[in-house]
């Protein structure tokens, strides 16, 4: 790649704002066009960003676009990715990779056949928070990992999002919305998962939109709103996971890793740079750990920039389709295990992505 990777965005909803904010920091990426089913919105955003407003068909076909940043709703992730790959574009998408592994598998297959890259959020795991925890683990600071816990709870996104119905439709719910952050972190830290059991359910609480023009509108709930799971990693470590839209308040930790010589408190994996804490058997006090790995002051888009740099240097990128596929299979297995009251063996596996060294930058500057 002789210059920056030229990016076309499909879907310029709320999440796109975070990508736009980071692009000026990432000279390895060049935004050239946007598209959206809402043509007026695409036109307005294009004017703000100083790029072309195209239809979806035009953007996918454009010879000026090297890679498609797919920010559509989860139900469209696989279809858009397949169209972009068929047109010879690399793809980076928001999570989840697809609605289920069967839908995602053709994406990986076509990318392999065409020699193209597919990346997927979350890239929060590339920030200094999770990467510092990974550095501590790899350095043996808590001895041999034994177990981990990962918890995320909230009363529901309808309290803040002006159009939250998709959070309660296929591809949503606490597991598919927030699970990728936590499960991607667990796999990055502890390696792939081989076996899953789960318990799932949904409360009968009536949900209505709390803000915006749809305030008071009833929400239909078509997904599980409370999910618990037990994950067995290939390394023998066991992770306990809980994701919920049914908890009004909690004081549970985000992620903790328990080892033979201590504990690591991993910061919120939905953020990039919060502080990691460490407790060791020789000290027996909690102490903050200065960042010692990860992209500093990162934001959404760093996974895409890491992919662009990997294309240029012919190495694997970290926020990979293989990692996203493995996480998707874990989530799918949790739901199936919970409904069927069984234990499910996973078919996929993935290598832990390389550590992001301290001071690394994901581009050519």
**Is the pLDDT score of 365 beyond 70?**
no
- CA torsion through residues 214, 216, 219, 225, sign: positive
| Confidence band of 364 (pLDDT split at 50, 70, 90) | low
Long-range contacts: 78-82, Cβ < 8 Å, 24+? 78/103, 78/104, 78/106, 78/107, 80/10, 80/56, 81/107, 81/118, 82/106, 82/107, 82/110
Average pLDDT for residues 229-245, to the nearest whole number?
Answer: 98
Scored b (16 or more CB within 10 A) or e, 138-162 reads eeebbeebeebbbbbbbebbbeebe
pTM: 0.95
> For 60-104, how does the pLDDT look when each residue is reduced to its tens digit (9 = 90+)?
999 999 999 999 999 999 999 999 999 999 999 999 999 999 999
Domains in the chain: ranges and CATH: 5-120 (3.40.50.720), 124-289 (3.30.360.10)
CA-wise closest residue to 164 among 97, 203, 218 = 218
Both structure tokens of 237: 């470590």
Q: 172 vs 54, which has greater pLDDT?
A: 54
320 close to 353: Cβ distance less than 8 angstroms = yes
> For 191-208, how does the pLDDT look when each residue is reduced to its tens digit (9 = 90+)?
999 999 999 999 999 999
**Is the pLDDT score of 170 beyond 90?**
no
Q: What is the pLDDT of residue 296?
A: 94
């Amino acid at each position: 790649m002789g210059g920056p990777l030229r990016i076309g965005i499909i879907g310029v909803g709320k999440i796109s704002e975070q990508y736009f904010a980071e692009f000026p920091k990432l000279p390895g990426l060049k935004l050239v066009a946007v598209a959206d089913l809402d043509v007026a919105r695409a036109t307005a955003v294009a004017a703000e960003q100083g790029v072309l407003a195209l239809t979806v068909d035009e953007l996918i076909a454009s010879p000026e676009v090297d890679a498609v940043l797919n920010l559509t709703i989860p139900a469209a992730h696989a279809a858009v990715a397949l169209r972009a790959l068929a047109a010879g574009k690399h793809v980076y998408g928001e999570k989840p990779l697809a609605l289920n592994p069967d839908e995602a598998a053709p994406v990986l297959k076509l990318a392999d056949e065409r020699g193209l890259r597919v990346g997927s959020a979350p890239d929060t795991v590339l920030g200094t928070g999770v990467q510092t925890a990974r550095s501590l683990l790899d350095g043996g600071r808590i001895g041999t990992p034994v177990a981990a816990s990962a918890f995320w709870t909230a009363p529901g996104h309808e309290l803040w999002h002006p159009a939250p119905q998709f959070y309660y439709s296929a591809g949503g719910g606490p597991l598919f919305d927030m699970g990728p952050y936590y499960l991607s972190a667990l796999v990055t830290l502890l390696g792939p998962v081989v076996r899953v059991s789960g318990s799932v359910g949904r409360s009968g609480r009536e949900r209505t939109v709390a803000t915006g023009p749809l305030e008071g509108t009833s929400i239909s709930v078509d997904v599980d709103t409370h999910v618990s799971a037990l994950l067995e990693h290939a390394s023998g470590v066991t992770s306990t996971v809980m994701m919920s839209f049914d908890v009004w308040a909690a004081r549970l930790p985000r992620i903790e890793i328990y080892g033979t010589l201590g504990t690591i408190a991993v910061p919120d994996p939905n953020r990039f740079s919060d502080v990691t804490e460490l407790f060791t058997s020789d000290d027996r006090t909690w102490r903050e750990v200065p960042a010692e790995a990860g992209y500093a002051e990162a934001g959404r888009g760093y996974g895409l920039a890491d992919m662009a740099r990997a294309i240029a240097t012919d190495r694997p990128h970290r926020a990979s389709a293989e990692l996203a596929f493995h996480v998707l299979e874990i989530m799918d297995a949790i739901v199936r295990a919970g409904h069927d009251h069984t234990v499910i063996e996973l078919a996929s596996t993935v290598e832990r992505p390389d550590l992001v060294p301290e001071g690394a930058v994901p581009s050519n500057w």
